[in-house]
Amino acid sequence: MSVNNRPTKKKGKHKAGRRSGRGKTAPGTHVPIMVSEVVNCLEPGPGQTVVDCTLGYGGHARKFLQKIGPEGRLIGLDCDAKELARTAKRLKKFGDAFVPRRANFSELEEVLGELEISKVDIIFADLGLSSMQIDDPGRGIHYKNDGPLDMRMDDRLERTAADVVAEISEEELAEALWKYSDEPDSGVIAAFICGQRQAAPITRVDQLKRIVLNAKGLTEATWKKQQKSQSFGGAHPAARTFQALRILVNDELGALEQLLEAAPGCVKAGGRIGIISFHAGEDRLVKNAFREGLKKGVYQAVSKGAITPRQGEIRKNPRSSSARFRWAQLA
C-alpha cells in the first residue's frame, strides 16, 4: 500500500511552560529544547524575517520575536489548528511581527509566496512532538494513554493510524517498522498485527499496545515487573511501533525531505537554517542534506556535528535527551 496521506485542501486557501515537579512538564504546556544553542547558532537580529516551521507552544518563536523586535517578522507554521490558535493568543502581544499560518512545513514555498516574501533570514524547525500532543489521549499518538488510534498531527489528513493498520500489507508494515524506528522484531510484530486485525479492527491505543507486547512475549504486568528490575531498563516495548506508525501516518520523513530541498532557495545569502531532530532517520536526512549542500557550494558552513542538550537540561526535561540540533549557513 502506498501511503500518500496529505491534507485534502478545500477550495480556496488551503515550546517555555510552567513546570510541575522535577522532570515533568505541566499539562497543556511545552518546554522548548536548546533555546540558547538555537539562538547562538542562528543569530537572529533586529528587523530580520524568521520562519518557525514548527510553531507548537511558541517557546522558540517567543525568543526569536524578542531578538528580531517590532521591525522584524516571524512566520509561524503549524498544521495543528488547535495548538496554532492557542499559541497565536499567547504571542498576540508581538503584534504584526508575528504571522501565524496553518500549514505543514512541506508547504514552505507556497506560504512564502502567499505572503509575497521571496527570501528570509532564518528557517528553523523542531521536529519533536509537543508535550500537548503526547499528553492528549484523543490524538492516540502515545502508548501511555488509551484513546482512538488516530496519530494525525493534522486533522485534514485522510488516513488515521487505525486506517493504515487496517489496510497495509504485512510486508509493508514490517518494512515501515524497521525503516522508521529500527524495530528489531518488525516482522513478528507485523505478523501479530495483521493476524489480530482479522479477528477485530484495531482502533484503540491499548489494543495496539497489547498486540505489540504479546508479539514480544510480554504482558503489561510482566513488562512493568521487568521495568522495576535493576537489571532491566529502556523504553516501552511498543514505543518503536508507535513511532513508526506516527511517521507513516503523517509522512514525516517525506515532509522533511521537501523542507530540506526547498529551504536553501528561501533563505538570503548568509542566512541560516537550523533543525532539531529526534531520531536517527530524521538526523540522517538533515546531516546528509547539509553536507551535500556544503560540497556543492550551497552552504558556506555547517555544524561540525550534532549539538545535544546539556545534562542539566536533560535532568529538567527528560524528553530532550534524544534531541540533535544541526545548522547550516547559506553561501
* Contact by Cβ (8 Å): 259, 108: yes
Residue 16 lies in a domain: no
Average pLDDT over residues 73-95: 95
* pLDDT value at residue 52: 98
Task: Tell me the per-residue pLDDT of 229-272, one tens digit each, with 9 for 90 and over.
Answer: 755 557 899 999 999 999 999 999 999 999 999 999 999 999 99
CA distance 296 to 278: 26
66 annotated binding-site participant: no
Q: pLDDT at residue 110 above 80?
A: yes
Residue 318 lies in a domain: yes
Q: In the chain, what percentage of residues exceed pLDDT 90?
A: 77
- Domains in the chain: how many in total? 2
136 annotated binding-site participant: no
Tell me which residue of 108, 103, 114 sits closest to 50, measured CA to CA. Answer: 108
Residue 270 lies in a domain: yes
Residue 29 lies in a domain: no
Of 206, 223, 250, the last residue of a domain is 250
Of 217, 250, 283, the last residue of a domain is 250
Average pLDDT over residues 44-64: 96
* pLDDT value at residue 68: 98
Q: In the chain, what percentage of residues exceed pLDDT 70?
A: 90
Average pLDDT over residues 122-151: 89
64 annotated binding-site participant: no
Residue 285 lies in a domain: yes
* pLDDT value at residue 167: 97
* pLDDT value at residue 226: 82
Q: What is the CATH number of the domain that holds 196?
A: 1.10.150.170
Residue 28 lies in a domain: no
11-43 as b/e: b if 16+ CB within 10 A: eeeebbbeeeeeeebeeebbbbbbbebbbebbe
* pLDDT value at residue 84: 94
60 annotated binding-site participant: yes
Q: pLDDT at residue 301 above 70?
A: yes
133 annotated binding-site participant: yes
Task: Tell me the per-residue pLDDT of 193-222, one tens digit each, with 9 for 90 and over.
Answer: 999 999 999 999 999 999 999 999 999 888
Average pLDDT over residues 298-312: 96
* pLDDT value at residue 129: 83
* pLDDT value at residue 309: 96
Are 115 and 261 part of one and the same domain?
yes
How much is the pTM? 0.88
CA distance 3 to 23: 37
Q: pLDDT at residue 14 above 50?
A: no
Q: What is the CATH number of the domain that holds 71?
A: 3.40.50.150
- The residue segments making up the domain with residue 40 are 35-132+253-330
pLDDT grade for 10, boundaries at 50, 70 and 90 = very low
Q: What number of other Cβ atoms are within 10 A of residue 231's Cβ? A: 5
Are 257 and 127 part of one and the same domain?
yes
Q: Which residue has the higher pLDDT, 257 or 12?
A: 257
Are 67 and 128 part of one and the same domain?
yes
